[in-house]
């Protein structure tokens, strides 16, 4: 079940450049730049560095072949969302260019480290980990406000860069399979879009019938990873992981991270509720839970993790 989101450019970003590429159509390369290293690729798109030939910001181009209706529609939707949603923790759209056989999305080249690599390398204290989670949560909330559902929140779609003044800063990228209320749905019937281990149960059942609460489930997976250093759902294969998610089988987070306070463990449980109606209402409710360090007063606990 390969999707274009299963290998994104930031999963290889920061590892070092791969081979230079000479197949980027010149029409997709802005003036003052030249096509550089291949940063990553999915099933139907590739992302390349754009190296400045004169003083200017570092950029990247996501190249999508034209003529494939669903892929072009996803590209158009990603352009639409990045054009409408501006947020400090969301990759910035710079330009859109077209060639006879392909289209290119020009964006900032984020000089950062994939989330999981950053966690393993730096082993930051909990307050820094939670700050990164809050930043991702804020970017997701902005997408939800714009009527979109990301549908593929995962460590490989989050870069953490070091800012001289702010410290670690998260950047969410790749809206390639986002779902927008403003554009027609393009999910293929029977297709499962996303990444095993970060898919919600309802996303596994019906990829086209999800709402913003599927992102809340993925945020719960990310929060578990951020706090415990491992994803909540494990298995020997993608199919096995999907089965574990669908059944809701996982260990309580305090077994993997005993020092996590009860209120925070309860938030992880709530986000990872098997039924979407048992999750927090929206990203604002999640932020309130974090700010108050306790569940909202009107929430009745309805889910407890267990094997």
Catalytic residue among 80, 152, 215, 269: 152
| Residue 92 Cα distances to 83, 136, 155, 283, angstroms | 9, 15, 19, 22
* Among the listed residues 45, 15, 12, 50, the one whose alpha carbon sits nearest the alpha carbon of residue 157: 12
* Among the listed residues 250, 196, 185, 188, the one whose alpha carbon sits nearest the alpha carbon of residue 218: 196
User: Any idea what the Cα angle at residue 247 is, between residues 246 and 252, rounded to 5°?
Assistant: 110
Q: What phi and psi, each to the nearest 5 degrees, are found at residue 20?
A: -60, 155
Contact (CB, 8 A) for 103 and 64: yes
* Among the listed residues 65, 105, 58, 101, the one whose alpha carbon sits nearest the alpha carbon of residue 81: 105
| DSSP letter assigned to residue 62 | E
DSSP 251-297: --HHHH-TTS-HHHHHHHHHHT-SSGGGS-SSHHHHHHHHHHTS--T
What is the rounded CA–CA span in Å between residue 92 and residue 254?
A: 37
**Under 8 Å CB-to-CB from 48, ≥6 apart: which residues?**
21, 24, 35, 36, 37, 38, 39, 60, 61, 63
Q: What phi and psi, each to the nearest 5 degrees, are found at residue 79?
A: -60, -45
Helix (H, G, I), strand (E, B) or coil at 33: strand
Annotation marks residue 298 as catalytic: no
Which residues belong to the active site?
Answer: 152
């Amino acid at each position: 079940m390969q999707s274009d989101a299963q290998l994104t450019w930031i999963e290889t970003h920061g590892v070092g450049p791969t081979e230079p590429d000479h197949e980027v159509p010149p029409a997709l390369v802005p003036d003052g730049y030249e096509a550089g290293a291949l940063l990553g690729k999915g099933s139907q798109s590739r992302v390349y560095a754009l190296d400045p030939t004169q003083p200017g910001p570092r950029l990247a181009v996501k190249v999508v072949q034209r003529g494939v209706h669903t892929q072009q529609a996803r590209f158009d939707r990603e352009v639409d969302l990045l054009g409408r949603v501006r947020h400090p923790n969301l990759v910035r759209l710079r330009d859109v260019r077209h060639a006879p056989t392909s289209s290119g999305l020009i964006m900032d080249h984020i000089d950062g480290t994939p989330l999981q690599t950053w966690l393993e390398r730096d082993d930051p204290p909990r307050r820094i980990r939670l700050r990164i989670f809050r930043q991702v949560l804020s970017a997701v909330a902005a997408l939800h406000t714009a009527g979109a559902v990301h549908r593929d929140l995962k460590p490989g779609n989050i870069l953490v860069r070091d800012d001289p003044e702010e410290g670690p800063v998260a950047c969410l990228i790749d809206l390639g399979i986002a779902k927008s209320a403003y554009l027609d749905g393009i999910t293929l019937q029977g297709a499962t879009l996303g990444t095993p281990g970060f898919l919600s149960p309802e996303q596994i059942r019906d990829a086209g019938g999800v709402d913003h609460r599927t992102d809340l489930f993925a945020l719960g997976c990310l929060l578990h990873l951020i706090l415990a250093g491992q994803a909540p759902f494990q298995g020997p294969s993608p199919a096995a992981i999907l089965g574990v998610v669908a059944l809701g089988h996982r260990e309580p987070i305090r077994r993997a991270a005993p020092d996590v306070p009860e209120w925070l463990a309860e938030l992880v449980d709530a986000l990872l509720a098997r039924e979407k109606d048992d999750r927090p209402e929206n990203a604002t409710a999640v932020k309130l839970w974090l700010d108050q360090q306790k569940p909202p007063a009107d929430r009745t606990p309805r889910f407890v993790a267990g094997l």
